[in-house]
Amino acid sequence: MYLTKEQKLSIFEKYGKSATNSGLSESQIALFTTRINHLTGLLKVNKKDFVTQRALIKLVGKRRSLLDYLKDNDISRYRSIIKDLELRK
């Protein structure tokens, strides 16, 4: 798999409060963003891979829901994760 356990732990450590806190919204958004970037790279090479395309669309929807939740509950955390992951131009 492209994402090892150590890479996931480093994502959770950077965006969550600790390496074991994988349920925090920011850490989930960061993990989804990493996976989305990977799938986007695959789709640039394999344009007709519709299974990957569907997985990408589902991940974007999950990330969008988490971002909406974070925006409704804590706007400062939302703004910081958007800035850290460079999701908006």
Per-residue pLDDT of 10-19, as tens digits, reads: 999 999 888 8
Q: State the residue range of the domain holding 49.
A: 25-85
Helix pair angle (25-45, 50-73), 10° resolution: 150
| Rounded CA separation 47/9 (Å) | 31
Residue 81's pLDDT is 94
pTM of the complete model:
0.91
In a domain, 45, yes or no: yes
At residue 16, the pLDDT reads: 86
Q: Is 10 within the bounds of a domain?
A: no
- Determine, yes or no, domain membership for 14: no
Domain assignment present for residue 2? The answer is: no
Residue 15 forms part of a structural domain: no
DSSP-derived 3-state class of residue 47: coil
Contact 71, 26 (CB under 8 A): no
Using one digit for the tens of pLDDT, what is the confidence trace for 23-75?
899 999 999 999 999 999 999 999 999 999 999 999 999 999 999 999 999 99
